[in-house]
Amino acid sequence: MSQRPNLVEISDGAAVRLVAGREISTRFRSKAFIWTTIALVAAVVLGGVILDFTQSRSDPTQHVGVLPAASSAAEQLVATAAVIGVTVETQEVSSADDGEALLTDGTLVALVTSTDPLEVTVQTSMPEQLIGVFATLAQQEALSSAITGLGGDAGEVGRAIAQAAPDVTALEPEPERDAGQIVAGFLSGILLFISLMTAGQLVAQGVVEEKSSRVVELLLATVRPWQLMAGKVLGIGVIGLTQVVLVVGAGAGTALALGLLDASSINLGVTALWVVIWFVVGFTMYALALGALAALVSRQEDVGSVTAPVLTLMMIPYLVGVTIGPWDPTNPLFVGLSYVPFCSPMLMPMRIALGEVAAWEVALSLALSLALVPVLVWLAGRVYSNAVLRSGGRVKLKDALTAR
């Protein structure tokens, strides 16, 4: 009579590492992972290059020519435009013919030909930014003529008028946000949504794949159910984290190399680090929930029906984040949801990028999410253990939770 061979006992940690290593080696060689990562990295780098090209080609400066007869208005024109918020650069032009040629080829947008009265030549129409500038300048020139007639220094009075501005005090000043913060916040939300959605669904699909092929029965002859699930979550988490680090690194490297954030006050290193941290937290929560729910079914076509509630929940912070966050970072809905577990992994990194969050707020949000993880581990482990070996029809969640 043959005896059953003794199975080699392995520690919990070794079992989890074994399963995780299997997932990592399988997923890293997957063409889907490779091409998705390449596409995301390429999109980030290409987006940075296009943004740099656009910024380098867009010149907000208004180039205005000034004939010798109107050269006295050049300084006053620049000062007046600065007060209005328009950048004007003047260029002395020797003749009207030369000025018209520069207007035709687009070098100049306007040509001042006379100051008394103020006369300006344009190619087709006056740029909107300069309408108010020249209107103010015409009034100043008229005032200067009157002052000159009375024997005063028209130039000094003109400079004083151009530089005069009201001293405005805001009772509730709106915090300043630059374009770099807005773009970083926007991209952080999109990247985390895509990464969490992709990695979470990999966990769900992997669970059902093993269950439908009965591979799980062979695996559970060696390892415990919770070890199998923990290893799967850990392995796919490493894959997702690698992808996020590569994309964030590519984006940060591109921004630094091209100087896209030279004028921004954003702390790129801190923002990138928090994106990675919140991915780990968010993936842990979503992967546990999706993996447990996927164990309730035995066919890939049924995965969508059981994971739909979690995926719908994932859409809420994403939509709030990209539609409200960058444009209204103090919105109560945006701020409130950033403390809610399952929502905070996408919203809190956006608030950090936008510079609209205090350290204690980040700590509180992180603590609330981490406090939920042990609960999810217990629930997911119980559902997975009670449902993963039950084939056939869909297992009810209530039965998976109450089964002994």
Domain boundaries, given as residue ranges, for the chain: 12-52+176-402, 62-163
- Angstrom CA distances, 327 to 106, 172, 216, 352, stand at 35, 18, 48, 14
State CA 67 to chain mean position distance: 48
pLDDT in tens, 99-140: 888 888 888 888 888 777 778 888 877 777 778 777 777 776
Mean pLDDT to the nearest integer, 342-370 = 92
Name the pLDDT band for 346 (thresholds 50, 70, 90). very high
Which of 252, 258, 234, 126 lies closest to 191, judged by CA?
Answer: 252
Cα separation of 169 and 283, whole Å? 46
User: Element (H or E) spanning 115, and its range?
Assistant: strand 110-115
Cα separation of 396 and 293, whole Å? 10
User: Element (H or E) spanning 62, and its range?
Assistant: strand 62-66
The string over 40-54, giving b where at least 16 C-beta atoms fall within 10 Å of a residue's C-beta and e elsewhere, is: bbeebbeebeebbee
Q: Using alpha carbons only, give the angle 238, 342, 274 rounded to the nearest 5 degrees.
A: 55
Cα separation of 128 and 350, whole Å? 35
Mean pLDDT to the nearest integer, 349-374 = 91
End-to-end alpha-carbon separation of the chain, Å?
34
Cα separation of 121 and 102, whole Å? 11
**Per-position DSSP letters for 353-400, written without gaps between them:** HHT---HHHHHHHHHHHHHHHHHHHHHHHHHHHHHTT--SSPPPHHHH
Q: Is 346 helix (H, G, I), strand (E, B) or coil?
A: helix
Which of 111, 109, 127 lies closest to 119, judged by CA?
Answer: 111
Q: Tell me what pLDDT residue 157 has.
A: 58
Its pTM stands at: 0.70
pLDDT in tens, 154-200: 555 555 555 554 454 444 555 566 677 788 888 888 888 988 888 88
The two beta strands, 110-115 and 118-121, are antiparallel
User: Element (H or E) spanning 110, and its range?
Assistant: strand 110-115
* ω into 175 cis (within 30 of 0): no
Which of 377, 371, 396, 376 lies closest to 386, judged by CA?
Answer: 396
Token pair 């205005």: residue:
64
Query: Which ranges in 259-342 belong to alpha helices (H)?
Result: 268-294, 303-323, 332-337
Name the pLDDT band for 298 (thresholds 50, 70, 90). confident
92: left (phi over 0), alpha (psi -120 to 50) or beta: beta
Q: Tell me what pLDDT residue 188 has.
A: 86
pLDDT in tens, 220-252: 667 777 777 888 888 888 888 888 888 888 888
Name the pLDDT band for 279 (thresholds 50, 70, 90). very high
Mean pLDDT to the nearest integer, 305-324 = 89
Q: Is there a contact between 80 and 56 (Cβ–Cβ < 8 Å)?
A: no
pLDDT in tens, 27-74: 777 787 788 888 888 888 887 787 767 665 555 778 888 888 877 777
**Per-position DSSP letters for 139-197, written without gaps between them:** HHHHHHHHHHHTT--HHHHHHHHHH-------SSPPPP--HHHHHHHHHHHHHHHHHHH
Give me the CATH topology for the region 62-163.
D-Maltodextrin-Binding Protein; domain 2 (3.40.190)
Residue 98 above 80 pLDDT? yes
Q: Tell me what pLDDT residue 1 has.
A: 40
pLDDT over 70 percentage in the chain: 82
Q: What residue type is 236 in one-letter code?
A: I
